Amino acid sequence: MSPRAGGPATDRPPLYLRRPLLAGFLRQWPLLLVIVVAGVGMLLVAGDRWRQGLVVMGLALVTAAALRLLLPLRRTGFLAVRSLRVDVALTGTAGVALVAMALSIPPS
């Protein structure tokens, strides 16, 4: 075996061939993070804590906008749907609007 540049050679195939599901999750970690945070918000809404749940879901959208803005295109995965400006503007505005509406409703 001849060593590769930067490290010893291995006969192991790449991760996407050995464990395609794990490789897919690692490739899509920004979207997975947003989905998990939004899921926590939905669980709060289902548990009759709708205000906190909507705030968490709005923060998930703001997080999606921030990740889309800060990460390079090859790392954003399925968060990149449209152009950078449109993605950030739409998801960020929707997140801020959701948080603002949830907090503006007076408690009963």
Q: What is the pLDDT of residues 53-69, one digit of tens each?
A: 999 999 999 999 999 99
Q: What is the pTM of this model?
A: 0.80
10 has pLDDT over 90: no
Least-confidence region, from 26-30, 32-36, 43-47, 53-57: 26-30
CB 78 within 8 A of CB 31: yes
**Mean pLDDT, residues 40-49:** 96
pLDDT of residue 51: 95
- Here the tokens at position 17 are 């061939």
**Mean pLDDT, residues 77-103:** 95
Contacts of 18 (CB under 8 A, 6+ apart): 12
**Mean pLDDT, residues 78-82:** 92
